[in-house]
Structure 1
Amino acid sequence: MGFPPISSLSFILFLFHFHSTISSSHFCAPHQSLSLLQFKESFSINSSASVRCQHPKTESWKEGTDCCLWDGVTCDMKTGQVTGLDLACSMLYGTLHSNSTLFSLHHLQKLDLSDNDFNSSHISSRFGQFSNMILLNLNFSVFTGQVPSEISHLSKLVSLDLSRNYYPSLEPISFDKIVRNLTNLRELDLSWVNISLVVPSSLTNLSSSFSSLSLSRCGLQGKFPGNIFLLPNLESLDLSYNEGLIGSFPSSNLSNVLFHLGLSNTRISVYLENDLISTLKSLEYLSLRNSNIIKSDLSLLDNLTQLTFLDLSSNNFSGQIPSSLGSLINLSYLNLSNNQLVGPIHSQLNIFSNLKYIYLSNNLFNGTIPSFLFALPSLQYLDLHNNNLISNISELQHNSLRYLDLSNNHLHGSIPSSIFKQENLTTLILASNSKLTGEISSSICKLRFLRVLDLSNNSLNGSTPLCLGNFGNMLSVLHLGMNKLQGTIPSTFSKDNILEYLNLNGNELEGKIPLSIINCTMLEVIDLGNNKIEDTFPYFLETLPQLQILVLKSNKLQGFVKGSTAYNSFSKLRIFDISHNNFSGPLPIRYFNSLEAMMTSDHNMVYMMEKNYTGYVYSIEMTWKGVEIEFTKIQSTIRVLDLSNNNFTGEIPKVIGKLKALQQLNLSHNYLAGHIQSSLGNLTNLESLDLSSNLLTGRIPTQLGDLTFLAILNLSHNQLEGPIPSGEQFNTFDASSFEGNLGLFGSQVLKKCYSDEAPSLPPSSFDEGDDSTLFGEGFGWKAVTMGYGCGFVFGVATGYVVLRTKKPSWFFRMVEDKWNLQSKKTKKNAGRYGARRN
């Protein structure tokens, strides 16, 4: 079938029109194509940067092709100029310098660099040169430093997002300029930007047409201006996690298009009553976690029928969950944790067919764990930990469930076999003060997507399934501590695993530490303490590049700990605890030289686990200042070195003084000899020092008096002599810190002898001389024979004032004989202690 005939004139007009259309469309200008390619080459691709990112958009950028057709690039079709660049989630890694060719694209109107890693780059002042910019998004891309005031030059800007970076800061003057000059601004997100010096009242200059404001985690403090709440076009407002922010949320005249409201962790008062609820009919997102809720009636929330997200956790709600909440049929996220809610979990939750997340932990719910929860078709996360619920999960049938935490309830019996059918389960926590018994079935290894497995603090017995060592490439957390597991540690850790946390503490495991652990190259925590492991020191663990915590305490480990010749062995180790074993020989000087993380403090991270994609918080049990404590969150700033209760010999090496970030040092109950090194005075962060029950001699270094954070000091049961250093810090320690050192004297000892009222000692007026001169002229028997015990101590102290630093030979022999008698008693008791320990 042919085309219909057309006249020659019509054909000519058609060709002219076609040619005009083609000629009006330009390809990408060559200099812009080159700029983009040079920008691409200045960054590497980090394929593991984000689990959300599908592929780097710059992959399609090829020389010799039209850049207007490249992924993420938008051009003006008439001029060929690049006007838009969307590189969100493109896996870019590297530094964005001020001389980057990006800033030569002067016609950019939209720039999105979010969700990349710009490696702590500073936000360049050259961003202010994009005079046509209407959208700038630098969200979640590891920028830091000062936000330049030149951003305020972008007068056409409608949307600005600098949020969730590495805590950049914005000075008050720059903030005021942005608010005053950007009159077209409708959306502003400065979450995680430090604006703590900004006065909230400066926000009053925002345009009445403003629609979205997010200032969460900004350090904002003071009274928030009430007129912002009443902006007529306000759709989204998030002020969460500004604990110093006060004010009052109005109950009327609110925008009828407000759909997102976040006031969590602020002191802004909210009256959750009928007047307010009736004005928030459009709300889809409501977060009032740990808020200043003055009055509340949870039953009124049934009017917010558009809600998909509701967080009322960490408040003081009591009573039962009102049945009226059943009308919130669009809800997908419900968090009522950390309240005082009681009663059984009613079946009104059964109608929430869209619920994906349920958090009801840390309440007073009782009764059985309702089986209908496991039948909710969309449910993926269920957290009921720390309630009074009774186990009833034998019929768990829910193949979409990914997160399950039932810990700190009254679970009993064996682990339900139905759990092993949850093929999509990524987090399983049945731990902490439950009463689960029986063995861990090897069927648990069918959960191939499991990232977190925590069955700790139960009464599980039998052997650890060998398959846990070869679980696959998903498991990140394995916590089976505080059970009754027997046998050996799994020896089949595979090379492709991503295990970060391994805790088998408090079981009855025997045998050796398996060499295959070196395949766990991402391990940050190893806790094998309180078992029956018989082995030598596992030198191979020093090859683990990410290891930060190593606990091998209370086992049957023995032999020398020589340390490695490699300079970076255990370089990231923050906690090193090999106490209560049978290690012998000198202290491991080579390791002390390579413990770089104990030499410097890192205050950039508060908790180790908050960077972990699983959301699981590491915990360990540790002796802290003499008390066994469970750290439910391991602060990254904690530095501990504990080699106590072993058989180490020799001197304390000077190199320990390099570990300046140490907070706790325990070398007690060994056979260490020689002097206390004055280099310990360099440990300026030290809070606890225990050198007790050794064979240390000489004087206490006066440099220890400079340790202003030192709260616990134990030098007891050694062979120390001379005066106890004076000073504010040493005056805080009592006699128990120094007992068992018969050659020591000072006010601390005298206070114990004289009921805290030490007699004053006469000032010395004698010149130093030889022993015979001082003995004949200024030192009589009365100073020594004032009595035994406390009188003996006072006599020694008085004699010291007379003698200064010289001692008669007869006096030395008398003290030495007294020490030898006491030493025999001490070692006898130590032998008994060792027999009990071993």
Structure 2
Amino acid sequence: MKFSLSLSQFLCSILFLFHFHTTISSSFSLNHSSSNHLCAHHQSLSLLQFKQSFSIKSSAYWEDCQPKTESWKDGTDCCLWDGVTCDMKTGQVTGLNLSCSMLYGTLHSNNSLFSLHHLQKLDLSFNDFNSSHISSRFGQFSNLTHLNLNYSNFAGQVPLEVSRLSKLISLNLSGNNHLSVEPVSFDKLVRNLTKLRDLDLSSVNMSLVAPNSLTNLSSSLSSLYLWGCGLQGKIPGNIFLLPNLELLILRDNEGLTGSFPSSNVSNVLWLLDLSDTRISIYLENDSISNLKSLEYMLLSNCNIVGSKLALFGNLTRLFQLDLTNNNFSRQIPSSFGNLVQLRYLDLSSNNFMGQIPDFFANLTLLADLDLSNNQLNGTIPSFLFALPSLWNLDLHNNQFIGNIGEFQHNSLQYLDLSKNSLHGPIPSSIFNQENLVVLILASNSNLTWEVPSSICKLKFLRVLDLSNNDLSGSAPQCLGNFSNRLSILDLGMNNLRGTIPSTFSEGSNLEYLNLNGNELEGKIPMSIVKCTMLKFLNLGNNKIEDTFPYFLGMLPELKILVLKSNKLQGFMKGPTTFNSFSALRILDISGNNLSGSLPEEFFNSLEGMMTVDQDMIYMTARTYSGYTYSIKMTWKGLEIEFVKIRSFFRLFDLSNNSFTGEIPELIGKLEGLQQLNLSHNSLTGHIQSSLRFLTNLESLDMSSNMLTGRIPVQLTDLTFLAILNLSQNKLEGPIPVGMQFNTFDASSFQGNLGLCGIQVLTECNNGAVPPLPPLNFNEEDGFGWKVVAMGYGCGFVFGVTMGYIVFRTRRPAWFHSMVERQWNLKAGRTKKNARIHGARRN
């Protein structure tokens, strides 16, 4: 082979030869990355071209990644470059590990990567290849034994040519959610890759692949990861009988059926995860007991049949046991006391009852214990607080009573005792838990305590939720400075007095601040604007005396602002800064003494309420995704507590104030609104016909004002409107008929002596409704005549049909309820990610 050396490479060679006699002994001990052969020039060139075909892009998902290709410099030995491995004899590049290298761009089929014909190991995982298709040229790497492309944003179909890689020992394509595999490709893959030991296709779409194809998997297979692949149908029983199978993960394939065999299961299996499948596991036979090598068993939300839970106690090597959400309704079996190797035990979301058994005191290696969402009762035994390795303790939503015991070790990082019936003081030993990250003691009602400033000594604390208790005293001022660590602070529904902490500092991580339902006084501190990540602020139901806090509009991510039932007063005005309150989705300033006219400029800044969000996910904290936002608010006339807030919620409540003047016409821009409440003010003038554009509106309350004129007939276009209250005004003329208006009874219109129609039992003398004056919106505002025409045209058929059905059923919310049911079915139950995905034996 012909070599072309650069000057620097030549000098390096001379120096190497010059010193060879003094370094010969050490040269034999050099590893592969310090080969005594310089890599071929064409290989260096190919690698440099590969480098140049991608940009370096940081990502919040891979915060710890390093750009390995930055060490690749022309004129240096490529065998010394980061991620490059060479054969020590030939100098050929045989390995390329660019995992987590911040690569971004498209991997085309003509990329120079495919000229590295001697590659044996290729790892491009944890990069972003921008929905590239996996090229058929991967099939040319005939020497490849290891291929890892996981979590690198590949899309399309897995090419048939991958099945040509007959030497493959390990294949990992997982985490590419837009990647799919066809039945023919998968069948060839499992038939041809006879040396395969590790196969991971988690999150790859295999919905068209018949599970029976798995029958042909190599008998040499030691690990099989098919997490969340959309598999449907009956799993072949021989999967559990593969002689060398050590790890089997089939979780999150809800259409996967079949049964766990009653005998002859693999005796080397040490990890089994069948969570969220419909594979039947029978506890009436002894097959579970035969898994003597098992260290990890995850069977959450499974089809477990039988009552012999005690069988799990025979698996004495278990390191982790997860039986979440299986409707077990009995006491925790005493045989679990045999599992002395347990580190992780999750029995949450069942119906376990009785007290926590004494055998838990013997599980001294236990690090993570989750018994939440059961029916356990009695006091929390003190031995739980003495377990030396325990870092996660979750007992929320049970029936525990009594005091919280003293903590005898300081290993805790996560503690959740919320939604029980605990009482008495919170133990001072909690402040010794120097590694504590999450502390949730909410909704016990009878916990009494003055929150001391020493709580701010917990330097790693990110979540503090002490809401819905009987806490007294004042909120420590140090909590403001503490905000650069905290992301969640919830002290709502207690008896705290004094003022809101005013020491919020720069660099704050605070996303959720709830001080609702206390006895706080004074003003809203300006320092809150330093909390630039704040999304949720609830200061409602206190005694705050202040004007409307316009400075809060400077918070760029603020989505929910609740200031209801305080002593706010004074006029409202337009925004003081650009993009003020632009992200706001829920604004509740009801029950104050705000006055003056409603400023048009303020309505015009509420961009978050002008957009329609179809996203059904719940709002959670970015820095701690396990914590969902909750709020109590008036929804469709009822006080409702939303323990979870869907991201599409849009609410605007200005009720029970002293606002005067006319309703701004620009209110029609808030197209995303589902609830609008302007009731109990002193508003005058007409009901704006621009309300017709609030097509998502479900509840409209303008009662107890001084509104005059007719009810705009255009309001009949609001096909989702379930609640309408226009009572106690000075409205006149005929009540519109048809569509949703046929579902509203007299209570929606009472107290308007000038109205006529069947709802108020007053016949109209003239049924003709005079036309309303034209709107003043121009097309730049998004309300031009073309938009109106399109809206009428598109909605006519749907509206007429809806109106007829609603008129016949008298159920204005039936459609909304149907959709809500579907959302609830799809949303499912949020669980912690499995800790062992990708696990390998130590």
Whole-Å Cα distance in 1 between the matches of residues 549 and 769 of structure 2?
A: 50
What is the match of residue 577 of structure 1? 588
* 1:321-351 Cα distance to aligned partner (Å, 9 max, x none): 2222122122111011122222222221122
Q: From 800, 818, 827, give the equivalent of 2:766.
A: 800
Query: Which amino acid in 2 is paired with 1:438?
Result: W
| Deviates most, 148-157 or 438-447 | 148-157
In the alignment, is residue 124 of structure 1 matched against residue 133 of structure 2? yes
| Deviates most, 511-520 or 675-684 | 675-684
What is the match of residue 801 of structure 2? none
Whole-Å Cα distance in 1 between the matches of residues 662 and 207 of structure 2?
A: 50
Compute the displacement of 1:569 (Å): 2.5
CA pair 177-423 structure 1, distance change in 2 beyond 3 A = same
In the alignment, is residue 26 of structure 1 matched against residue 36 of structure 2? no
What is the match of residue 317 of structure 2? 306
In the alignment, is residue 534 of structure 1 matched against residue 534 of structure 2? no
Contact kept in structure 2, 1:338 and 1:362, CA below 8 Å: yes
Compute the displacement of 1:106 (Å): 4.1
CA pair 76-429 structure 1, distance change in 2 beyond 3 A = same
Contact kept in structure 2, 1:523 and 1:544, CA below 8 Å: yes
In the alignment, is residue 704 of structure 1 matched against residue 715 of structure 2? yes
Q: 5+ residue gaps in structure 2?
A: 1-20, 29-33, 772-842
Q: From 286, 290, 302, give the equivalent of 1:279.
A: 290
In the alignment, is residue 359 of structure 1 matched against residue 380 of structure 2? no
Q: From 46, 49, 52, give the equivalent of 1:38.
A: 52
What is the match of residue 646 of structure 2? 635
Compute the displacement of 1:511 (Å): 0.8
Whole-Å Cα distance in 2 between the matches of residues 599 and 177 of structure 1?
A: 50
SS in structure 2 at match of 1:679: helix
CA pair 58-244 structure 1, distance change in 2 beyond 3 A = same
What is the match of residue 610 of structure 2? 599
Compute the displacement of 1:532 (Å): 1.0
Whole-Å Cα distance in 2 between the matches of residues 234 and 288 of structure 1?
A: 18
Whole-Å Cα distance in 1 between the matches of residues 187 and 714 of structure 2?
A: 52
CA pair 171-602 structure 1, distance change in 2 beyond 3 A = farther
CA pair 30-170 structure 1, distance change in 2 beyond 3 A = closer
CA pair 590-267 structure 1, distance change in 2 beyond 3 A = farther
Whole-Å Cα distance in 1 between the matches of residues 445 and 198 of structure 2?
A: 49
Whole-Å Cα distance in 1 between the matches of residues 201 and 589 of structure 2?
A: 46
What is the match of residue 823 of structure 2? none
Whole-Å Cα distance in 1 between the matches of residues 708 and 555 of structure 2?
A: 38
Q: 5+ residue gaps in structure 1?
A: 1-10, 751-789, 807-838
Report 1:679-690 matches (<5 A). 679-690=690-701
CA pair 614-417 structure 1, distance change in 2 beyond 3 A = farther
* 1:570-604 Cα distance to aligned partner (Å, 9 max, x none): 33222222222222233343343343333334455
In the alignment, is residue 470 of structure 1 matched against residue 481 of structure 2? yes
SS in structure 2 at match of 1:800: coil
Contact kept in structure 1, 2:256 and 2:277, CA below 8 Å: yes
Whole-Å Cα distance in 1 between the matches of residues 751 and 472 of structure 2?
A: 44
Q: From 193, 205, 208, give the equivalent of 1:183.
A: 193
Identity over aligned pairs, percent: 62
Contact kept in structure 2, 1:126 and 1:150, CA below 8 Å: no
CA pair 172-744 structure 1, distance change in 2 beyond 3 A = farther
CA pair 731-699 structure 1, distance change in 2 beyond 3 A = same
Contact kept in structure 2, 1:567 and 1:593, CA below 8 Å: no
Q: From 270, 276, 288, give the equivalent of 1:265.
A: 276
Alignment TM-score, normalising by the size of structure 1: 0.80
Report 1:188-203 matches (<5 A). 188-196=199-207, 199-203=210-214
SS in structure 2 at match of 1:74: strand
What is the match of residue 178 of structure 2? 168
Compute the displacement of 1:732 (Å): 2.7
CA pair 704-77 structure 1, distance change in 2 beyond 3 A = farther
Whole-Å Cα distance in 2 between the matches of residues 619 and 404 of structure 1?
A: 19
Contact kept in structure 1, 2:447 and 2:471, CA below 8 Å: yes
Whole-Å Cα distance in 1 between the matches of residues 395 and 111 of structure 2?
A: 53
Report 1:782-821 matches (<5 A). 790=761, 793-794=762-763, 796=764, 799-801=765-767, 805=770
Query: Which amino acid in 1 is paired with 2:44?
Result: P
| Deviates most, 610-619 or 474-483 | 610-619
Report 1:757-836 matches (<5 A). 790=761, 793-794=762-763, 796=764, 799-801=765-767, 805=770
Whole-Å Cα distance in 2 between the matches of residues 405 and 137 of structure 1?
A: 39
CA pair 433-377 structure 1, distance change in 2 beyond 3 A = closer
CA pair 720-226 structure 1, distance change in 2 beyond 3 A = farther
Whole-Å Cα distance in 2 between the matches of residues 357 and 139 of structure 1?
A: 29
CA pair 718-43 structure 1, distance change in 2 beyond 3 A = farther
Whole-Å Cα distance in 2 between the matches of residues 109 and 697 of structure 1?
A: 81
Compute the displacement of 1:164 (Å): 4.0
Contact kept in structure 2, 1:641 and 1:666, CA below 8 Å: yes
Whole-Å Cα distance in 2 between the matches of residues 575 and 181 of structure 1?
A: 57
CA pair 329-451 structure 1, distance change in 2 beyond 3 A = same
Query: Which amino acid in 2 is paired with 1:250?
Result: P
CA pair 435-139 structure 1, distance change in 2 beyond 3 A = farther
What is the match of residue 514 of structure 2? 503
Contact kept in structure 1, 2:36 and 2:88, CA below 8 Å: no
What is the match of residue 80 of structure 2? 69
* 1:762-788 Cα distance to aligned partner (Å, 9 max, x none): xxxxxxxxxxxxxxxxxxxxxxxxxxx
SS in structure 2 at match of 1:301: helix
| Deviates most, 24-33 or 304-313 | 24-33
Whole-Å Cα distance in 1 between the matches of residues 238 and 91 of structure 2?
A: 44
CA pair 275-800 structure 1, distance change in 2 beyond 3 A = same
Whole-Å Cα distance in 2 between the matches of residues 589 and 203 of structure 1?
A: 64
Contact kept in structure 2, 1:478 and 1:501, CA below 8 Å: yes
| Deviates most, 549-558 or 478-487 | 549-558
Compute the displacement of 1:456 (Å): 0.6
* 1:125-148 Cα distance to aligned partner (Å, 9 max, x none): 43754632544434445x375445
Give 1 or 2 for the bigger CA radius of gyration.
1
Alignment TM-score, normalising by the size of structure 2: 0.80
SS in structure 2 at match of 1:366: strand
Report 1:184-583 matches (<5 A). 184=194, 185-196=196-207, 199-204=210-215, 206-471=217-482, 473-564=484-575, 566-583=577-594
CA pair 533-135 structure 1, distance change in 2 beyond 3 A = farther
| Deviates most, 540-549 or 738-747 | 738-747
Contact kept in structure 2, 1:397 and 1:422, CA below 8 Å: no
Compute the displacement of 1:234 (Å): 3.2
* 1:588-640 Cα distance to aligned partner (Å, 9 max, x none): 43343343333334455612227543622222222222222222222222222
Whole-Å Cα distance in 2 between the matches of residues 125 and 588 of structure 1?
A: 56
CA pair 709-251 structure 1, distance change in 2 beyond 3 A = farther
What is the match of residue 783 of structure 1? none
Whole-Å Cα distance in 2 between the matches of residues 43 and 100 of structure 1?
A: 20
What is the match of residue 787 of structure 1? none
SS in structure 2 at match of 1:461: coil
Contact kept in structure 2, 1:179 and 1:205, CA below 8 Å: no
In the alignment, is residue 87 of structure 1 matched against residue 98 of structure 2? yes
Whole-Å Cα distance in 1 between the matches of residues 560 and 89 of structure 2?
A: 61
Contact kept in structure 2, 1:311 and 1:336, CA below 8 Å: yes
Compute the displacement of 1:661 (Å): 2.6
Whole-Å Cα distance in 1 between the matches of residues 184 and 746 of structure 2?
A: 58
Whole-Å Cα distance in 1 between the matches of residues 103 and 558 of structure 2?
A: 24
Contact kept in structure 2, 1:38 and 1:101, CA below 8 Å: no
